[in-house]
Amino acid sequence: MKIVIFGLTISSSWGNGHATLWRGLIRALAKRGHRIVFFEKDEPYYAANRDLFGIPGGDLVLYQDWGAIRQRAAAELVDADVALATSYCPDGIAASELLLAAPRPLHVFYDLDTPVTFSRLEAGEPISYIGPRGLRDFDLALSYTGGRALDRLQSELGARRVAPLYGHVDPDVHHPVPPADHYRSDLSYLGTYAADRQAALQRLFIDPAGSRPNQRFLIGGAQYPADFPWQPNISFVRHLPPSEHPAFFSSSRLTLNITRQAMADMGWCPSGRLFEAAACGTPILSDNWDGLDSFFEPGQEILIAETSEDSVNAIDLTDAELKRIARAGCERVLANHTSEHRARELEILLEDASSIPSSTGDSAAMMEA
């Protein structure tokens, strides 16, 4: 298949969760014989931190202005099998109008930010990547979030056919590597700063660091403010490209996952960091949210923390117990949550959606088992 994608970014992993996911998925799709054309607006924010300049088996099209690239995009759609627009695409509405006008490809929308989409709807804020007709004209709406989000995509945005396409990990990129001294920690946290995660980060990371002054804590990420409440035993590593993630996780005795508030409230929205850390053989301590137990078995494949005491208790587990949990988590991810798994799932979803003509107005939802 030829798949044309209009997305936020694949070229820069700086301050976003899209790039790493696209890299893994496109790599897996290319291995399976598909050709991808990815259109990305050349935003200065990402251009200054670009860490990928081409995609396997396809084309990365960086452009400055939609008007200047529109003719190229239309030409790519002529022989495309699938045309896909995504959340936070800077020219999402214009790209959607163009791809929906193309008669040949299957028309797909992929919301990688479904909880944020609905948060904005509830607040009456504009959504720059979905037009006034919502999703009713697309043959298939994919969502990074499952559960009740799928019902809402239908009832509130008019999607006719919906399905989850969750996060994943590329084991060729994320796998155990020898520990690096500068990343060694008793508890690590990798994530861009977000105000809505700060209360949980204080409770599950900063306060435990204060109660364990002789142990090392490490934060990796971007956009941390000058007034962040650092502790003497908390080290900081500025933004890490995906190539450094394996060393970061492999050097962590235990790593913490904290979910963005909108994602936690909606549930069924696993962060890609969960799968990355597990694939690196690192035990994970996570906040709790609805649906988490469908991806990992709490207490066996992942540890759950709600209080500072929970975090401290996890830190105090023996090396043998942490290694057991890490091994089980890694096995679960490699069996169910790799980019290859998602590529196969996507193929099935596209094939099923192609079997139902757009004119039928089919409203059947493709829900997860």
pLDDT in tens, 259-285: 999 999 999 999 999 999 999 999 999
pLDDT in tens, 108-137: 999 999 999 999 999 999 999 999 999 999
The answer, yes or no, to whether residue 175 has pLDDT greater than 70, is yes
Give me the pLDDT at residue 108, please. 98
The answer, yes or no, to whether residue 361 has pLDDT greater than 60, is no
Average pLDDT over residues 183-210: 96
Instruction: List all residues 6 or more positions away from 111 whose beta carbon is below 8 Å from its beta carbon.
Output: 86, 87, 117, 141, 142, 143, 144, 145, 153
Cβ count within 10 A of residue 351: 11
The answer, yes or no, to whether residue 367 has pLDDT greater than 60, is no
Average pLDDT over residues 223-242: 92
| Residue 368 pLDDT level (bands cut at 50, 70, 90) | very low
pLDDT in tens, 18-77: 999 999 999 999 999 999 999 999 999 999 989 999 999 899 999 999 999 999 999 999
Give me the pLDDT at residue 10, please. 97
The answer, yes or no, to whether residue 363 has pLDDT greater than 70, is no
Give me the pLDDT at residue 356, please. 60
Averaged pLDDT score across all residues of the chain? 94
| Residue 357 pLDDT level (bands cut at 50, 70, 90) | low
Average pLDDT over residues 2-13: 97
